[in-house]
Structure 1
Amino acid sequence: MTAAGGESSRPGRPRPVAVVPEAHHTHRDVSGGWLRPAVFGAMDGLVSNLGLISGVAGSDARAATVAIAGLAGLAAGAFSMAAGEYTSVASQREMALAEIDVERRELRRHPEDELAELTAVYIGRGVEPELARRVAEQLSADPDQALEIHTREELGVTADGLPSPTVAAVSSFLAFGMGALVPVLPYLLGATALWPAAVLALTGLFLCGAVVSKVTTRSWWYTGLRQLALGATAAALTYGLGAALGVALD
C-alpha cells in the first residue's frame, strides 16, 4: 500500500512532504480607503495652516493672534476636509452601488446575453472561443460570483472593495488636524516669531513627502523636497500678501 504522492508508508521510508507554493513577492494595498485622504489631509494641514499663520504674522499681528488664527484654521480645515471627503466618497460609492444594481438586474433578466458578454471578454483576452464559453459558464453558475466578475470586468469595482466614507472622513480629519497643529505648536509653546513655526512645518513637509515615497516609485529625497518647496512657496506668498494688506489697512 502506498501513501499519497506514490510514496510507501512502510517504516523506514520517508513520508511525503506537502509542497507549498513559494511566495515570491507581495503587493501593497492600492484599493485605498484611508491612504489618499490621510496623506492629502496631512499635507493640506501643514501647507494651509503654515500659509495662514504666515499671512497673519506678516501683518505684524501679536503672537497670541497668530496662535488663535492657527487654531481656528486647524478646526475649520479639519471639519471641512472630513465633510468634503465623506460627501465625495459617499457619492462615489452610491453611484457604484447603483451601477452594480443595474448589472444584478441584467444578470437576472438576460442571463444568456450576459454570458455571451463575459465570453466575449475572455475571447478578447486571447482565450479560445470554446474554452472561453466553458469558463464563462462555470463562473456564471454562482450568481454572486457572476455579479462580482461582471462588475469587476465592466465597472472596474466590486461591492466589497468600495471605499468607506466614514474611514475616509475620519482619516482626513485626524491627518489634517495633526498636520495643521505642527506650525501652530511653537506659538502655543511661547514662540513670538514666525521662523520656528516655519522651520518645524517645512521639516514636517519634507518628512511627510519622504514617508509617501514608501508607497510610490519616487525617491524619498525627491518627494520630500517637492513637498518642502510647495510649502515654502505657499508660506512666502501668503506672508507677502499679509504684509501688503497689513500696510494697506494701516
Structure 2
Amino acid sequence: MSTERPPVVKRKTVRDIGLSKGATPLVCLTAYTAPVAQILDDEVDLLLVGDSLGMVIYGFDSTLPVTLRMMVDHGAAVVRATRRACIVVDLPFGSYQIGPEQAFQAAHAILAETSAGAVKLEGGAEMAPTVRFLVERGVPVMGHVGLMPQHARVLGGFRAQGREAAEAERIAADARAIADAGAFSVVIEGVAEPLARRITADIAIPTIGIGASAACDGQILVTDDLVGLFQDFTPRFVKRYATIGEAIGSAAARYAEDVRNRSFPGPEHVFRPKAG
C-alpha cells in the first residue's frame, strides 16, 4: 500500500498575479459554473467570474440585469470547484457606483461568501478613489478600462476604443489612475493595439488584454467564445480553439433520432429484475 501523499497544490494569489509583470504571460479565462471551472483549473493562472454570465448563462442582452446574488452564487461554485487558479469575481452594475462605502459592502459580500481572491470593477479615473478605499481596507481589486460592457450605452455600443488621440489619452490616464490607486492588475478591453502596448509599458501592474495586444502581460477570453459554444457570432478578437456548439448540436440530433425510432434506451441502458 502506497504511503505517498498527493502533492499539495497552492492556489495562486493576487500577489502572484501582481508579481508577473513582464514575465510569462498570464493565462486567464472566464468560468461561471463548477464543471467548467474544474476543467480549466489546471491550465490557467486566473479564472474570472465575470458579469458576462448575464449574457452567457442567463440570456440577457447586456450585463446590466446581473445581481450581486448571482455573482456570489456563481463565484462560490467556481471557488469550490478549483484548487489552483486565482479567482476574481466581478462587482455587478449598480453595486459600487454610488460610492466607496457601497462598493465595500458589495466586495465584502463577495469575498466573505465565495472565498474568492479579489473583485473586479469597471472604470477609470472616476473610480480611482473607490479602488483606493477598497485596497486600504483589505480588498484586492482588479481594474477594467477601455471598452467597458457596463458602460456600453454611454460609449455608443460595443465598439473599439482609443482609435482617436484624445480618447487614447483618456484611457491611458484611466489605467494610470487605477494602477496608482492600488489595483493589482487591470483588464484592457477592446482598444487600439498600440494603445494597449503603450499602457502595458507605462504602468507597473500587469495588464490583461482582451481585444487589445499580444504585448499585454496576460490574455483573457470568454470561455464559451473560445470553445465555439455560440455559433451565430464570434467577436473579432476571439480565436476559436474548438467547436463545442456544433458537437452538442450533433449529439442532440443523434439522440433525438434514437428516441424517435425507439433505439434508445437499448437493453444495456435499462434495469432488469433481480434473478430468483
Shorter chain as denominator, the TM-score bin is under 0.3
Larger radius of gyration: 1
Bigger helix fraction:
1
The two structures have a TM-score, normalised by structure 1, of 0.26
Higher relative contact order (CA 8 A, sep 6+): 1
